[in-house]
Structure 1
Amino acid sequence: MIVLVGAAAFAAQIVLFSFSLYRLAIQRNRKPFLATDPNMPKVEDERIRQIGEWFRSQPFEPVEIASEEGLKLRGQYLEPEEPSDRAIVLAHGYSGKGEDMAYFAKEYKERGFRVLMPDNRGHGQSEGAYIGFGWHDRRDYAAWIDYLIRRIGPQAQIVLHGVSMGGATVLMTAGEPLPEQVKCVISDCAYSSAVGILAYQLRQMFRLPPFPLLPLTSMICKLRAGFFFGEASAVRQLRQSRLPILLIHGGDDTYVPTAMAAEIYDAIPGDKERLIVPGAQHGMSILTDPEAYWETVMGFLRKYLNHGAAAFPAREPVQRGAPLSAWVPAWSGPPTLRKE
């Protein structure tokens, strides 16, 4: 009897913790744990202050579409100085918002791109009660793509570029039946799947094994948010994609471990390139080695957008905040991920 009572109490604790994990990771709310996570880099950089000033000075246009379920999805849109048929869709990270991608928006605008920065469902000014880890967002981004084609016309050339959860989101979007106007995808520090990153973070943050917490939390997520964790897989979606994909990852990323980049790269069936930035922490590749970052990105885009080199007007070199390491255009060996 005592054993049965103890087992029941333990099971109840597991269920309660699973609900807590859902509220912590999936439900829309403030995420104070991100500020104290030692694996999340703390950015105090003059370049970030300057980009904030640039963002506030730009004539961004508020835009809105509806999701398939009728949620209001909002974003910000910016035209370049000269007319252009090229557009970049920038996907932000976990618990972020579109304007977090302003550092990228500035560069793309100066290169002659129209810029669209959506707020994902459950983020920023968009509606939604949960964070979808890219799964339901993939259909939202398909809707944003349709919006751009209506606005620019059938000659549009659209590129998707995401960071962190945004990187996983654009990879999942790449597995959808997209219109021919989508030319390629750039994914920076993406996780390979929701199950993979949640299991990794359970170990890192709480020193807990993924079983049985993740399966139970996944069931709660299905009931409340409409998807199982196992559905949100960039690796599985990529098997259906034929788009050219550039993967970027920091060599010292401990939040989304660099090893996930190898898993993703191996899953891409079509044209693919990769850049591992030595010394870069999570989401910091662009600040750690900006010249290598943009050299690689623009070289990649020249291959898949019309007009070749003429599509990217010359501009002043990116200013570096610190000496650069030599960039590595190939896989340099992932850290070992614990498997249970």
Structure 2
Amino acid sequence: MNESVVLQKPSKPRKSRAKKIIIIIATVLVVLFIGLLIFIPYAIMPMFLGQHYEQQQFNSSDYGISSERITLVTDDSLSLAAWRTRAETETSKGTIIILSGIQNPSVTAFFGYAKMFADHGWDSLLIEMRARGESEGEEIGLGLTEWRDVKAGVEFLRADQEVKDLPIVALGTSMGGSTVITAAGELPEVSAVISISAFSSWSDVFIYNMEMNGMPKAISVMDTPFLNAYLGFHFGFNTLKYSAEKSIVKLGERPILMMHSTGDSQIPYEQFEKLLSKAKKHNIDVTTFVREGDEHFVCYEQYSENPAEDIEFSQAVLNFLAAKFP
């Protein structure tokens, strides 16, 4: 009697099924995490964009200096409010272009700086950047577009026969500090830079603010490509090449004075260190002034209307100018 043996197909091991389930769950979690990273810029960035900031304006006469109100036109057809002040000396050493920060105060709050410069032989051109005060523009550009506002100022000065061959120094605070570095990187006509509490890039600002609001830094860092994609679609991907971090290496032999406070709660000191490291790595002629504490404007608040009275701060600025433009 012959016996036949029937071989049964083995059932799938339980381990194989469990592995598939784990892969599916992991894939879903990864997709959800990427979705979260994409969502974050769309949730956060609108609060910074699409706004024209109204600011309190100040009169130059209250600071002991006269000014001429002028209008600058950018290469993207925006009219900007600006004020020109003149040196108190017989001849001018050049012009200091002055910018304020991302929202407040108005650049007219810096007439005290213009007075200090005038007393030491410098003209000033105070530019209210786009989407602020009397200047046109639907929204701030987070430092990606404002360098064009400096360009408009430079073109105005170069068209003036009286000063067209004199040095142009660009000074800015906070986002203005970042903007003047970017502008100098694009505009060889800028002879020197004074940056006060500049941020290294908007993505670094974003990471810092997310961290301050409880988001793990690692997640904020991973979100950077999605933030840049958002900014690229919003402002144009060509604008992503503009940042202080990328531009500071373009200064070449032109000098820069970098000023920051160690406890700055708005732009952390580590961003100053990041910019300084870039400058030194590329042998940029950099001078630094560091102040202890949380002093975002570096100049002490009680001296904001008359920075010349803040001896350490004013001497750092004036000594830099005297050394580089004797």
**Common fold: TM-score over 0.5:** yes
Residue 69 (structure 1) aligns with? 76
Corresponding residue of 2:306: none
CA deviation profile, 1:273-301 (whole Å, cap 9, x unmatched): 10111224212334489211111111111
Pair 1:264-2:278 in alignment: no
Who is 1:301 aligned against? 321
* Distance in 1 between residues matched to 2:133 and 2:53, nearest whole Å: 11
Which of 42, 47, 53 aligns to 1:24? It is 47
RMSD: 3.1
- One-letter amino acid of the structure 2 residue matched with residue 247 of structure 1: M
Query: 257, 265, 269: which is aligned to 1:246?
Result: 257
Aligned to 1:141: 150
**Which stretches in structure 1 are left out of the alignment for 5+ residues?**
32-50, 309-340
2:174 to 164, 167, 172: 164
Q: How does 1:34-53 map to 2 (within 5 A)?
A: none
After the TM superposition, which residues 56-205 of structure 1 pair with which residues of structure 2 at under 5 Å, given as runs?
58-85=65-92, 86-96=94-104, 97-151=106-160, 152-179=162-189, 182-205=190-213
Q: CA deviation at 1:14?
A: 6.1
Measured at CA, do residues 163 and 27 of structure 1 come closer, stay the same or move farther in structure 2, by a change above 3 Å?
A: same
Q: What amino acid is aligned across from residue 134 of structure 1 in structure 2?
A: G
SS across alignment from 2:98: strand
Give CA deviations for 1:45-83 in whole Å, capped at 9, x if unaligned.
xxxxxx878547643222112212111122111223344
Report the number of matched residues.
285
Q: Distance in 1 between matches of 2:140 and 2:284?
A: 29
1:129 offset after TM fit, Å?
Answer: 2.0
Secondary structure of the residue that 2:220 maps to in structure 1?
coil
TM-score normalised by structure 2 residue count:
0.76
Q: Residues 52 and 150 of structure 1: is their aligned pair in 2 closer, same or farther, counting only changes over 3 Å?
A: closer
Read off the aligned partner of 1:73 and give its amino acid letter. Answer: L
Q: How far apart, CA to CA, are the structure 2 residues paired with 1:138 and 1:53?
A: 25
How far residue 218 of structure 1 moved from its aligned partner, in angstroms, is 3.2
Matched with 1:333 is none
Aligned partners of 1:185 and 1:245 also within 8 Å: yes
Q: 1:65 to 1:236 in 2, by over 3 A?
A: same
Aligned equivalents of 2:39, 2:67: Cα separation in 1: 44
Q: Note if contact 1:133-1:232 (Cα within 8 Å) is conserved in structure 2.
A: no
Counterparts of 2:223 and 2:238 in 1: how far apart (Å)? Answer: 13
Q: The residue matched to 1:295 in structure 2 has which SS?
A: helix
Secondary structure of the 1:120 match is: coil
Partner of 1:237: helix, strand, or coil?
helix
| Contact map agreement 2:130 2:137 (CA 8 A) in 1 | yes
CA distance, structure 2, for counterparts of residue 64 and residue 120 of structure 1: 12
Give 1:290's aligned residue. Answer: 310
Q: Given residue 102 of structure 2, which amino acid in structure 1 is its aligned partner?
A: Y
CA contact (8 A) 1:171 1:238 kept: yes
User: Which stretch of the first structure deviates more once superposed, 214-223 or 157-166?
Assistant: 214-223
- Structure 2, unmatched stretches of 5+, are 1-24, 303-308
Q: TM-score, normalised by structure 1?
A: 0.73
2:241 counterpart of 1:234: no
Contact 1:73 1:125 in 2 (8 A): yes
